Chain A
Amino acid sequence: MAGAFGVAGFGLAIDMDIQGIQKKLEATFGAAVGPVMEGSVENWIEVDPDKIDGVAEYLQSHPDFNYEVLTNLTGCDYPDKGHIQVVYSFVNYDSGSELTIKVNADREAPKVNTVMHVWAAADWLEREVFDLLGIDFIGHTDQRRILLPDDWVGNPLRKDYVEAPDYHGISTMRESLLSVDIPGRS
């Protein structure tokens, strides 16, 4: 819907949009596209991890959607649900429409198709998710750590991450600030 800028009517416009987008995606990609999920802040569509590259290309190039900008690509770990989620945020600057797509990857061996050939911006963002959450982006041409050193062990943003006791002889054992007794505080 055109002219979705502004606070008033913003959510309504997106809601109407996202149902239509979901129907079109479902018609094109079938069961790989899930129903519209309702969140407290925004609604999203879930897509299978091996179809996200096709969905992304479709949303970017199809004249009905034209989501030409990937504003964010991030991840989140859900150990109780057994999956790691990758979150994509798209924006169409012409209409001001925003869209959120989420992909659930299996927590034990998370594999998600890359979208770096659709948006070049996805290159470093996917490297960051690979670095901190350990998701394998299939088809990424330069998948290596971007923030942490190459010889780092583990993925720190996973909920079950355990810090190594030292890094190249530098102790990482720290006294917890929360265990310090503060007078007058129970």
Chain B
Amino acid sequence: MSLINSVPEMVLTTKIDQLLNWTRKSSLWYMLFGLACCAIEMMQTGGPRSDLDRFGMAPRATPRASDLMIVAGTLTLKMALRTKILYEQMPDPKYVLSMGSCANCGGLFQLGYSVCDGVDKVIPVDVYVPGCPPRPEALTEGLMMLQDKMMQEKWLVRSESPASA
């Protein structure tokens, strides 16, 4: 958005796409989806020190009110089926952030018989955050990368629309 000096104060000029993306990225509600120890860091990120609330992010307990799924922890094959169902229940446009080594590739437990090595085998992932577990700073950076990605989206020109898969 750019402020043009010649127009009176309190007026902003922008593009519709940018305005839509800006409003959406500034109220990114995430679903509580802690699967293992990464969930502790995710809670910490939502706490007062990192304070996800300053991005307009709020935890939701249901996929139907969520824009973002933070997959935080080891994904077992049993949970993978549930993850897919929860993802399908989220309204479009929806985003997935894979948090930690386990969600990225199975991590420490990837050879286990019960572990799904990577959440991207089940649902599409927008941002991967490495770490075991990632510190709140790392998760915050991942979320800011996701916001950058959201700002690139186009909604008015449907042919160019890179809407989330």
Mutual binders A and B: yes
Cβ-closest chain A residue relative to B110:
A174
* Nearest-Cβ distance from residue A102 to partner chain B, whole angstroms: 26
Interface segment among A20-28, A59-67, A106-114, A163-171: the answer is: A163-171
Complex contacts, B113 vs chain A, CB 8 Å: 156, 161, 163, 172
Bound-complex Cα distance A163 to B114 (A): 10
Q: Per a CB cutoff under 8 Å, which of B80, B114, B116, B117 touches A156?
A: B114
Which listed residue (A149, A163, A176) contacts B78, Cβ 8 A?
Answer: A149
Tell whether A170 pairs with B114 under 8 Å between CB atoms, given A148-B78, A149-B77, A149-B78.
Answer: no
Contact B81 A174 (CB under 8 A): no
Inter-chain contact B81/A148, CB cutoff 8 Å: no
Could you give, for residues 91-126 of chain B, a 1 whenever the CB lies within 8 Å of some chain A CB and a 0 otherwise? 000000000000000100011011011000110000
- Asked if A176 meets B111 with Cβ closer than 8 Å, knowing A170-B116, A170-B122, A171-B121, the reply is yes
Overall SS of chain B's interface: loop
Minimum C-beta distance from B53 to chain A (A)? 35
Q: How far is the CA of A177 from the CA of B107 in the complex (A)?
A: 11
- How many chain-A residues does the 8 Å CB contact rule pick out? 14
- B47-90 vs A, CB cutoff 8 Å, 1 = contact: the mask equals 00000000000000000000000000000011011000000000
B111 near A177 (CB under 8 angstroms)?
A: yes
- A146 to B: closest C-beta gap in Å: 11
CB contacts (< 8 Å) of A174 on chain B: these are 106, 110-111, 117
Please, which residue of chain A has its CB at the minimum distance from the CB of B116? A170
Q: Interface range on chain B: under 10, 10 to 19, 20 to 34, or 35 or more?
A: 10 to 19
The residue in chain B whose Cβ has the minimal distance to the Cβ of A176 is B111
**Per-position contact with B for A156-186: 1 when CB-CB < 8 Å, else 0?**
1000010100011011101011000000000
Q: Which of B77, B81, B110 lies at the interface centre, i.e. has the most chain A CB atoms within 10 A of its CB?
A: B77
- CA–CA, A174 and B110, complex, Å: 8
Distance to closest chain B CB from A161 (angstroms): 7
Cα A174 to Cα B78 in complex, Å, equals 17
Is A170 touching B121 in the complex (CB atoms < 8 A)? yes
A145 and chain B: residue at smallest CB distance: B78
Q: Tell me the minimal C-beta distance from B137 to chain A in angstroms.
A: 29
Q: Which of A148, A171, A176 contacts B114 (CB 8 A)?
A: A148
Specify the chain B residue showing the minimal Cβ separation from A173: B117
Q: Considering the chains assembled together, what is the distance between the CA atoms of A148 and B80 in angstroms?
A: 12
CA distance A167 to B122 in the complex (A): 11
- Give the Cβ gap from A168 to chain B, nearest Cβ, in Å: 6
Residues of B near any A CB (own CB < 8 A): 77-78, 80-81, 106, 110-111, 113-114, 116-117, 121-122
The 9 closest A-B pairs by CB, nearest first: A167-B77, A156-B113, A149-B78, A163-B113, A170-B80, A170-B121, A170-B116, A174-B117, A168-B81
Given contacts A149-B77, A170-B116, A172-B77, 8 further A-B contacts (CB under 8 A): A149-B78, A170-B77, A170-B80, A170-B121, A170-B122, A174-B106, A174-B117, A177-B111
